[in-house]
Amino acid sequence: MRILVLGGDGYCGWATALHLSQRGHDVGILDSLIRRDWDRQLKIASLTPICGIERRIARWHELTGHSIDLYVADMCNHEALETAMVRFAPDAVVHFGEQRSAPYSMIGRKEAVFTQVNNVVGTLNLLYVIHEKLPDCHLVKLGTMGEYGTPNIDIEEGYLTITHKGRTDTLLYPKQPGSYYHLSKVHDSHNIHFACRIWGLRATDLNQGVVYGVHTPETTMDRTLVNRLDYDGIFGTVLNRFCIQAAIGHPLTVYGRGGQCRGFLDIRDTVRCVELALLNPAKAGEFRVLNQFTEQFTVNDLAQKVRQAGTEMGLDVEIENVPNPRVEKEEHYYHAANTKLLELGLKPHCLSQSLLDSLLNVAIDYKDRVDENMIPPRVSWRSCAPVFQ
SS3 224: helix
pLDDT value for 269:
97
Q: What is the mean pLDDT of each run of 10 residues along the chain (389 residues)?
A: 98 98 98 97 96 98 98 98 98 98 97 98 98 98 98 98 98 98 98 98 98 95 97 95 97 98 97 98 98 98 97 96 97 98 97 89 96 94 65
Residue 332 sits at the vertex; the CA angle it makes with 176 and 96, to the nearest 5 degrees, is 45
Cβ–Cβ < 8 Å for 7, 13: yes
pLDDT value for 388:
47
Could you give phi then psi for residue 124, rounded to 5 degrees? -65, -45
pLDDT value for 385:
57
Cα–Cα distance for residue pair 91/74, rounded to 1 Å: 21
CB atoms within 10 A of CB 149: 18
State the DSSP string of 88-147. Answer: H--SEEEE--S---HHHHTS-HHHHHHHHIIIIIHHHHHHHHHHHH-TTPEEEEEEEGGG
Strand 138-144 to 202-208 pairing: parallel
Cα–Cα distance for residue pair 136/131, rounded to 1 Å: 8
Cβ–Cβ < 8 Å for 251, 307: no
Cα–Cα distance for residue pair 188/186, rounded to 1 Å: 5
Strand partners, 206: 142, 290
pLDDT value for 132:
98
Pure H helices in the chain: 11-22, 34-42, 53-64, 78-88, 102-105, 109-116, 122-133, 180-199, 238-248, 267-279, 299-312, 340-344, 353-365
pLDDT value for 27:
99
pLDDT value for 384:
64
**What is the set of active-site residues?**
144, 181, 185
Cα–Cα distance for residue pair 141/157, rounded to 1 Å: 15
Task: Name the CATH topology of 2-374.
Answer: Rossmann fold (3.40.50)
- The sheet carrying 210-212 orders its strands as 210-212, 261-266, 295-298
